[in-house]
Chains A and B, each alone.
Chain A
């Protein structure tokens, strides 16, 4: 579990160019981490690439916080 979380956090730090300390579970991609619409598309693509999965647009739209992403990807990995 911790492994997935750290992989997700690493991707967010790289893709959004933010300080690791800001990437908390409650942090919102748009509100707290300064992501715009292009960043969020690229972020989802990076998750897909890292975990070898497809994330449908309707699922991607629900991923608003770091915690949302970790939970979603943990469930996908477990499936």
Chain B
């Protein structure tokens, strides 16, 4: 089966596989059209060869980073953003736990002062992972919470501050402006090298993830991505184009709703899940 010679039907099947994994039409056709031309010109290659070529290509689209994580700082600040319901708050708790297990002290900051019970949600997570939470009341200025949180961390020598923000669509002008303000507050308190702005993407999202990356990164610098909900049947293929186009490394993937369900991103297994042998 794997040593079969590639024909147009194989190409069509691979097209289906890639598109169904949300890799996207553009990336898929860019990969497969040249192959199609070669096949039509009479070149032969085996399915195995083609698949390993495609995997290599997909892997090469995924950006690497050698920046340390968390970034060095006193404290280092991880700022989470993304559209509604992708898993920001939960991911913060999971990552807080990982960092704690690695010997860092952490502070969770409830800068989602908008959504009903968002503060309670983060506080509950704080109790579960035994991490302090900095919060003001619902409706408070997110910048004020961030200011308090980082100042508290500085005074109390906390290593990493994880900031939760309200979910917002990337197309909402005033909500994007609010993001910029929050980043300004962070900039006042800690140097750039100590900050990582993390875009959280939901693996079930389709081509819209590209628009999310584009809009958010044109407003504030985005440094990395976390993909959540990889425990479902979605393959999260759009992350490949996002990583490629916006030069964004993927740090972690979320695999469930429990505190331990976050693991470092691994290119090979990610791409192998998209293109199984």
Indicate, yes or no, whether A interacts with B.
no
Binding site for B on A (CB under 8 A): none
